[in-house]
Structure 1
Amino acid sequence: MAWLLHDRPVGHQGPHRPAPHPTHRWWKVMCLTGVDYFSTLGYQPAIAAAAVGLLSPVATLILVLLTLLGALPVYRRVAAESPHGEGSIAMLDRLLGRWKGKFTILVLLGFMATDFIITMTLSAADATAHVVENPYVPEWFHGKEVIITLVLLALLAGVFLRGFGEAIGIAVALVVVYLGLNLVVVGNALWNVITAPELVTNWRGMLTTEHSNIWVMIGISLVVFPKLALGLSGFETGVAVMPQVDGAPDDEPAHPETRIRNTRKLLTTAALIMSGFLITSSFTTIVLIPENEFKDGGAASGRALAYLAHEHLGNVFGTVYDISTILILWFAGASAMAGLLNIVPRYLPRYGMVPDWARATRPLVIVFGLIAFVITLLFKADVDAQGGAYATGVLVLIMSASIAVTLSARRKHERFRTVGFGVISLVLLYTTIANIIERPDGVQIASFFIVAIILTSLISRATRSLELRATEVRFDEEACRLISAAAEHGDLRIIANEPDDRDEAEYQEKEAEQREVRNLPEGPPILFLEVTLTDASQFETELDVRGEERFGYKILRVDSPSVPNAIAALLLKIRDDWHVMPHIYFAWAEGNPFYFLFRYVISGEGDVPPVTREVLRRAEPTRSNRPWVHVG
């Protein structure tokens, strides 16, 4: 939702330079994330009642304990270690590294896409339920749930196609009004329960008749509570909005303590508010609403609190409550769409795994809108039917966050925290597996997204591998001195060299070989260029060129995830800054060119000379302005 704040293209902003955002008080930003988190009250009590019946309050209490003792501590740690809105996925990227980390991230992005897409479709479907069940709505609306949901999704896509402006003011207004109305509904429901104690007595009697003792109740609740995991939604969004939270002017940019502290206030306050509403709403709805009304087609199906609003506070107030719920659910879908539009530029460009068309907002909006249409048709706009898929996406993201903080604590030798976060990870792992076994549709949808993301990412990486991938080239003082001295003699002669430690004889042999093969004159000085390969799974990078002299030879050294791309970027930078035409000299590699091509895409090496020349050709279309590549 943080990305709702600016009506700007999704286009690439640079690998580590997110566009600056205006900041706000933490409670206002809590409202921004709250349109997603708090909107689950629109359907959570009804889903809980439909899933576990009379045990709904017990199972909800377990969910609240997991929220406060599990998810909240995990994301307070994520806020401290990822204070610029990257979230737990970026933490895993840093902790795992290289291709193993990249593929893990791609899989998690598939689950994140599931979470956001189902948020859109489920929220729209529940908004439709509130529309259809309102007593003032014409009768012919009934049976048109799928059509109404598709219309709401189309309106959502249309808003993003036109551009979405300032959102935090809207979010604050929606959340304040919505929570205020829920406070009235729940408060009135609690009063009705207090003034009619026989209702609680009847519920307790039916509960003890159905389940022999409290341990059986807890055991059953532990088994079925993964169905209620929708209430865990919002934590990942909570850390994603961190760039919007006010900090202090004297905060260190790398670790802004004030912003971290305010974000932790945001997460804690949101969790406490939601926990209070979850416990009270699950209890009052199960006590006050007849069981048959929770069933599919019942008046409370997908809208338990709205049912209480109409039954106990009148249709006028109930209609106001419906309108508020419809708006916040629709806005939750907007936050999900914004989150989807943020996934591509936030993660994938650094891996080179974005097709060119995915840089633009409108094509992505159309694609995600069509996917939401398909899922709505498949699930027939049924809120309960989509609960499993939504819970799967939410649980996998929270589980990945708990694993990330466990690994981080272990790496920092924090034994107590490692054990604590490890226990939370095991609980969330159980919850996730139980949810997948019980309702496999979520992992099926996620698998579709995972396969689609991996295939398109690998194809994009292969097709973009010949791009000029250095975002900036910097030379230290010694490198500038060496280049300037060599440039005084006209065209610059550079010999590409392996970066291994070499003795004087090897440099002599390399220079003699190139002078003999290329008939180089003895007068002009020659520079050696050595590229040390770093993490080849990275795509874009900044190059820092270091100069040094060894055995009387002048050497430029640079670290890069790709050897050919680094050489090409360095040659173009020398051409532009020193106004000389650089010549680079290689020796041919022995081996199968197809093997070398595959090796280049995966490891960043391969047959360097032809790839360097092709990168230069694509970066500089004018042949006369292109640095020379010599191979012998």
Structure 2
Amino acid sequence: VFLKGFSEAIGVAVVLVATYLGLNVVVVAVGLGEVISEPHLIPDWTAALTAEHGNPLMMIGIALIVFPKLALGLSGFETGVAVMPHVQGDPEDTEEKPAGRIRGARKLLTTAAVIMSVFLITSSFITTLLIPPAQFQPGGQANGRALAYLAHEYLGSAFGTVYDVSTILILWFAGASAMAGLLNLMPRYLPRYGMAPHWARALRPMVIVFTLIAFLVTWIFDADVDAQGGAYATGVLVLITSAAVAVTIAARRAGERGWTIGFGIISAVFVYTTAVNVAERPDGVKIGACFIGGIMALSLLSRLARVFELRVTHLELDDMAQRFIRDTANRTIRFIANEPDSRDLTEYRQKKEQIRADNDIPAADDVMFVEVTVLDASEFESSLKIRGEVLHDRYRVLTLESSSIPNALAAFLLHVRDETGQRPHIYFEWTEGNPMANFLRFFLFGQGEVAPVTREVIRAAEPDRARRPHVHAG
């Protein structure tokens, strides 16, 4: 009801979920009926608990200790978060205030949480009372399939088989929904930072990659449900724990003391649960570390391979900047790359004199200063905003805002060439320091040895040497 698009997929999902919920309702209802029809079950169970654990406080303590082992039962609570970007908002929603989407997401998550909580509690209750403990052990018929065991035991093999098939289909759908969440999240982050190849924005290649990963994990664990369950539980707990901590921080920043305390307690419970689960079943952390390491390594290689791309999505000049370019269109266009420091009269005068002397620029030729301010070096692509201003009543300065100095200058020079039909000149000073250290500064922070990198970006963007802007360094 709350999702937009994917009409065919949602149709299939509705049928699968409705069927699975219906079958579960039947099994749980029959199980509760059996418990009610045999009144000795509950007294026997409570007597066994009292005899083994003494008092209710001891039971609660044991339950807290055992809780991490039951973490896999929380699976599903986290998948609702993955589909939140697909929730339909109101027509008047904006990116800053998506009130309709938030309202719809709250309904979606609340509905899912209520349904799952009811099923978890009731199914745990009836399976504990109706299934012999030995059947829960590894190799037992109820191990990993307690409700299916009850379906076969109390409703016959035909119904049990239908329940088994429905379970397989709903698990397939759960995997598909998790993949849909990944397909929605991945293109939002890694490509934004240049840490993924271009094909990562396309759905089909990513589907193939995630499918192969799923096969690989299944192969590594020999298709063992218990082994994969430990790794999956770790992933679920990490997601829920990080969300709980994030909400606690948000409540604290909002000054909501009561909510902060409440969410803080919940966060502490999940931190403890995650830590115990990791200690008892480290497979999840090992696999997660391998994937994180692989993603980071491939991401860094991808960004390194694409470091000389133009990386400017849009270029915008204000009126003054356009006027500067028009005024120089009928003569040699010369720019001086300047690092904006104090921006006083002395800085510009000395820079201009030095560049003229180093490059033998005729005194009659006019020059303009170009200054780039790095906003966020982690952004791989960015738009380029160019403003023109006259400083100290004599120096024309073009100021650029971008995520990388060389890429911004290269894009600007190519734009000037296209607008004026001339190949502009730009003049740099050599940067002091180790070249490798300067390259790393550029790779990480968008700064460093600007002159050769600017030239390399231009070379990569313009294969025709006769059309490339001139880059001078002295």
What's the TM-score once normalised by structure 1's chain length?
0.71
Q: In the alignment, is residue 442 of structure 1 matched against residue 442 of structure 2?
A: no
Partner residue of 2:150?
308
- How far apart are 1:533 and its partner, in Å? 2.2
The structure with the larger Rg is: 2
CA distance 1:381–1:542, shift in 2 (3 Å): same
**What is the number of residues matched between the two proteins?**
473
What SS class does the counterpart of residue 502 from structure 1 fall into? Answer: coil
* Alignment map for 1:3-42 (pairs within 5 Å): 25-26=1-2
Equivalent residue number for residue 397 of structure 1: 239
Q: Deviations over 1:154-202 (max 9, x none)?
A: xxxxxxxxxx994111111111111111111111111111121112222
Q: Give the equivalent residue in structure 1 for 2:379.
A: 538
1:619 corresponds to: 461
State the 1:301 CA deviation: 1.7
What is the aligned partner in structure 1 of residue 359 from structure 2? 518
The within-5 A match list for 1:93-108 is none
Q: Does 1:602 align with 2:444?
A: yes
Instruction: Determine the C-alpha separation between the residues in 1 that align with 2:118 and 2:62.
Output: 23
How far apart, in 1, do the equivalents of 2:303 and 2:130 lie? 57
Deviation at 1:457, TM superposition (A): 1.9
Match of 2:95 among 253, 258, 267: 253
1:11-410 matches, within 5 Å, as: 25-26=1-2, 166-355=8-197, 358=200, 364-410=206-252
1:370-428 residue CA offsets vs partner (Å, 9 max, x unmatched): 44334323323222222221111111122222222333334444444433333332222
The alpha-carbon deviation at position 266 of structure 1 amounts to: 0.6
Q: What amino acid sits opposite 1:532 in the alignment?
A: T
Please, which moves more after superposition, 327-336 or 608-617?
Answer: 327-336
For 2:129 and 2:277, the matched residues in 1 are separated by: 26
Give distance in 2, aligned partners of 1:301 and 1:232: 17
Contact kept in structure 1, 2:191 and 2:201, CA below 8 Å: no
**8 Å CA contact retained: 1:533, 1:560:** yes
Query: 1: distance between equivalents of 2:142 and 2:262?
Result: 39
Q: Is the 8 A contact 2:79 2:177 kept in 1?
A: no
- Contact 2:230–2:283 (Cα < 8 Å) also in 1: yes
> Contact (CA 8 Å) 1:486, 1:524: kept in 2 or not?
no
* Residue among 476, 496, 506 paired with 2:337: 496
The SS at the match of 1:591 is: coil
Question: Per-residue CA shift, 1:305-335, capped at 9, x if unaligned?
Answer: 1111122122222222222111111122222
- Partners of 1:211 and 1:613 lie apart in 2 by 75
> What is aligned with 1:65?
none
Distance 1:545 1:234 in 2: 48
| CA–CA separation in structure 2 for the residues paired with 1:418 and 1:522 | 67
Q: Could you tell me how far apart the structure 1 residues matched to 2:442 and 2:96 are?
A: 34
Letter of the 2:219 partner, please give it. L
Q: Could you tell me which residue of structure 1 aligns to residue 347 of structure 2?
A: 506
Equivalent residue, structure 2, for 1:458: 300
Distance in structure 2 (CA, Å) of the matches to 1:525 and 1:575 = 17
Task: Look up the equivalent residue of 1:308 and give its one-letter code.
Answer: L
Residue 232 of structure 1: how far off its partner (Å): 2.9
Shift of 1:462: 2.2
Q: CA deviation at 1:448?
A: 1.1
Cα distance in structure 2, aligned partners of 1:317 and 1:348: 46
| Higher RCO (CA < 8 A, seq sep 6+) | 1
Distance 1:424 1:309, change over 3 A: same
Instruction: Calculate percent identity across the aligned residue pairs.
Output: 60
Take 1:375 and 1:468, find their aligned partners in 2: how far apart are those partners?
38
Q: Deviations over 1:9-49 (max 9, x none)?
A: xxxxxxxxxxxxxxxx32x57xx9xxxxxxxxxxxxxxxxx
Over 3 Å counting, the alpha-carbon distance change for 1:246 and 1:302 in structure 2 is same
Task: Provide the C-alpha distance between the structure 1 equivalents of 2:310 and 2:148, rounded to a whole number of angstroms.
Answer: 56
Alpha-carbon distance in structure 1 between the residues aligned to 2:77 and 2:133: 32
1:250–1:578 CA distance, 2 compared to 1 (3 A): farther
Task: Report the alpha carbon displacement of residue 359 of structure 1 after superposing the two structures with TM.
Answer: 5.3
AA in 1 matched with 2:373: T
Compute the displacement of 1:257 (Å): 0.6
SS of match in other structure, 1:495: strand
Deviation, structure 1 residue 277: 0.4
AA aligned opposite 2:313: T
What does residue 263 of structure 2 align with?
A: 421
One of 557, 572, 575 as aligned partner of 2:414: 572
Out of 528, 545, 548, the residue aligned to residue 369 of structure 2 is: 528
Aligned residue number for residue 549 of structure 1: 390
RMSD: 2.3
Q: CA shift at 1:443, angstroms?
A: 1.0
Instruction: Tell me if the contact between 1:388 and 1:439 (Cα under 8 Å) persists in the aligned partners.
Output: yes
- 2:40 match: secondary structure: helix
1:500 maps to a residue whose letter is D
Deviation at 1:605, TM superposition (A): 1.0
Deviations 1:431-481 (A, max 9, x none): 111111121111111111122122222222222222222222222232222
In structure 1, C-alpha distance between the alignment counterparts of 2:320 and 2:74, rounded to whole Å: 55
Check conservation: 1:475, 1:546, Cα contact below 8 A.
yes
Give the counterpart letter for 2:272 in structure 1: Y
Q: Evaluate the alpha carbon distance shift between residue 182 and residue 235 of structure 1 in structure 2; reply closer, same or farther with a 3 A threshold.
A: closer
Change beyond 3 A, Cα 1:517–1:238: same
- Structure 2 letter corresponding to 1:352: G
Secondary structure of the corresponding residue to residue 556 of structure 1: strand
Which SS does the other structure have where 2:383 is aligned? strand
Distance 1:350 1:210 in 2: 57
Distance 1:502 1:386, change over 3 A: same
- Distance in 2 separating the partners of 1:197 and 1:576: 87
Deviations 1:107-151 (A, max 9, x none): xxxxxxxxxxxxxxxxxxxxxxxxxxxxxxxxxxxxxxxxxxxxx
The residue matched to 1:197 in structure 2 has which SS? coil
Q: Is the 8 A contact 1:344 1:354 kept in 2?
A: no
TM-score, normalization: structure 2? 0.93
Could you list the runs of 5+ residues in structure 2 that have no partner in the other structure? none
Give the deviation of 1:360 after TM superposition: 5.6
Structure 1 residues 278, 260: closer, same or farther in 2, change over 3 A? same
Please state how far the C-alpha of 1:510 moved relative to its aligned partner: 1.5
For residues 201 and 105 of structure 2, the distance between their equivalents in structure 1, rounded to whole angstroms, comes to 30
